[in-house]
Amino acid sequence: MKFIIFNWKSYLNFDESNFLTKFISKTNFKNKYNLIVAPSLLSLGFLQNKYKNVNFAGQNFDLYGKGGFTSFLPIFDLSENNINYALIGHSEVRQYRKENNSIVNRKLKLALDTKITPIVCLGEDLNTYKKKLTNDYLKKQIIETFDKNTQYSEVLIAYEPLWAIGSGMVPTNDEISKIVDFIKFFLKDYSFKKLKILYGGSVNSENLEQLSKIKELDGFLVGSASIKKSFINKFKL
């Protein structure tokens, strides 16, 4: 089973999100794909209640629970509405909301306690990539995010190099394969019931076929391309 995460970010308004989700709900997809839609917060609850045959993810959530926390999203708003997945540590959240590995670690624990499958995002910046320090960077992210004493259930890790997101630049298949192998090797001393590794970063209709040849990958985290019907149709019967 290949996981395909459609991260719609803030590209679509409410009506556009409803229109595209309706299209997805009426489309028959190949059984080998598990399609998961991550719409805007405004749209998420409505779409989940309306389209029961579509899987949804939260783009983010906050560490605070219910109470006097203006503008924050408690994770219970996801779990109580049968939203089973959530992105954690996306590069844009790290960049614009200053979310660090320590916060990602705490969110990961909260997601697992709430029975939400986390989609943990890891990846290096362009300077790190050019200096050939990607493995060291990822190692630090993993050490500060995961705990060897924790028994993890299902976890999805999305390797998304920051320099590839929205830039049109994509690592070679060989580079991605080696990164996936490194992540799996480094995590061998951690305990996972299920561990899936995805790739994210400028995935689109033009490179999907080439990237799909990477046998080590368990799927893709897709941004702007996922709001296009032409891309979504790549996965239909």
Alpha-carbon dihedral 124, 158, 101, 62, rounded to 10 degrees: 130
90 in catalytic set: yes
Q: In terms of DSSP H, where are the helices of 9-125?
A: 14-25, 41-50, 76-79, 91-96, 101-113
Give the per-residue pLDDT at 211: 97
Catalytic residue among 92, 99, 124, 160: 160
Give the per-residue pLDDT at 14: 97
Total tally of structural domains belonging to the chain: 1
Give the per-residue pLDDT at 65: 85
Q: Token pair for residue 9?
A: 């970010």
> Which H helix or E strand runs over 58?
strand 55-58
Give the per-residue pLDDT at 168: 81
Would you write out the chain's pLDDT as a tens digit for each of its 237 residues? 999 999 999 999 999 999 999 999 999 999 999 999 999 999 999 999 999 999 999 999 999 988 999 989 999 999 999 999 999 999 999 999 999 999 999 999 999 999 999 999 999 999 999 999 999 999 999 999 999 999 999 999 999 999 988 788 899 999 999 999 999 999 999 999 999 999 999 999 999 999 999 999 999 999 999 999 999 999 999
Q: Token pair for residue 111?
A: 């997601």
Query: In a 10 Å sphere around its CB, with 0-12 CB exposed, 13-18 middle and 19+ buried, how is residue 234 labelled?
Result: middle
Give the per-residue pLDDT at 165: 85
Catalytic residue among 16, 80, 90, 99: 90
Domain that holds residue 117: 2-235
pLDDT digits (tens, 9 = 90+) for 155-210: 999 999 999 887 888 999 999 999 999 999 999 999 999 999 999 999 999 999 99
What's the CA gap between 13 and 193, in Å, rounded? 37
160 in catalytic set: yes
